[in-house]
Amino acid sequence: MLADVAESGWWNKFIDQFLALVAFFAFPTIQYILLKFRSKNEGDVALWYLPAYGFRLVIRNLPRKHTLSEIKYRAIVRTVVPASDHASVATFVDATLLEKDDFFLFPGTDQVLLCFRIEGKSKNELMLIVTDKLGQEQQKMPLSSFDRVICDYTSTLNNLFNFNVRLSKRAEIKSSTFTSLWERIQTNNEEDSFDIDRVRNVG
């Protein structure tokens, strides 16, 4: 009888310690998973038009409450060489527009990734003008010379629980979309936001 009680007490103690151990490791794991899930809505990429300066592709953090750090980003133009008789797959030819990094992005501000204007007398001869934040030209190329612009960025989402989450996203804008943007501002040259063809969450 005493042996049964002793064995039962040992077993209950073991179960209590096991559950405490599981809870100890499970809480940060669950917390991290929840933060990872919520982080998909953080650091969204947005495209804005400011008549005085042109278009800005930005990490949208103005309405958010979290700080991003260790920000790295790049923009490339991609030309797709289609498959042919001598190559069974398409080939991507990329040229780098810019590659930069920054330390912090605090709530209430946006991180500018790429600034540009679209200029031309007709939609058949439009040029993509890459600029600085104030609209000063840095380089230009015909829209007909590439298929899309791709902007990648990574950053760290900081939070109160110190479970920092790494964000990685890719935004893509087709050359045909640049033409549509030019047509829009010809009829409505006012500050506005525009859709991006594709935004991918990586990881």
Estimate to the nearest angstrom the gap between the alpha carbon of 170 and the chain centroid: 5
Residue 185 has pLDDT above 50, yes or no: yes
| Residue 5: per-residue pLDDT | 45
| Residue 21: per-residue pLDDT | 57
Does 18 share its domain with 100? no
Does 165 share its domain with 187? yes
**Largest alpha-carbon pair distance within the chain?**
98
Does 119 share its domain with 138? yes
Condensed to tens digits (0 to 9), the pLDDT of residues 61-81 reads 887 778 899 999 999 999 999
Does 64 share its domain with 164? yes
> Which among 104, 109, 106 is positioned nearest to 62, based on CA atoms?
109
Condensed to tens digits (0 to 9), the pLDDT of residues 137-160 reads 999 999 999 999 999 999 988 766
Does 85 share its domain with 114? yes
- Name 81's bridge partners: 91
Q: Work out the average pLDDT over 169-176.
A: 96
Mean pLDDT of the chain: 85
Triad 109, 114, 118: Cα angle to 5°: 125
Q: Percentage of the chain surpassing pLDDT 90?
A: 60
Does 37 share its domain with 90? no
Cβ proximity of 148 and 92 under 8 Å? no
Condensed to tens digits (0 to 9), the pLDDT of residues 8-58 reads 666 667 666 655 555 555 555 555 555 555 556 678 899 999 999 999 999
Q: Work out the average pLDDT over 84-108.
A: 91
Condensed to tens digits (0 to 9), the pLDDT of residues 12-21 reads 676 666 555 5
Residue 128 has pLDDT above 70, yes or no: yes
Does 31 share its domain with 56? no
Does 28 share its domain with 92? no
Does 104 share its domain with 118? yes
| Residue 189: per-residue pLDDT | 93
| Residue 74: per-residue pLDDT | 97
Rounded CA-CA distance 31/37 in Å is: 10
Structural domain count, the chain: 2
User: Which domain range does residue 75 map to?
Assistant: 44-201
Does 63 share its domain with 154? yes
Instruction: Please provide the size of the chain in residues.
Output: 203
| Residue 65: per-residue pLDDT | 78
Does 23 share its domain with 114? no
Does 169 share its domain with 69? yes
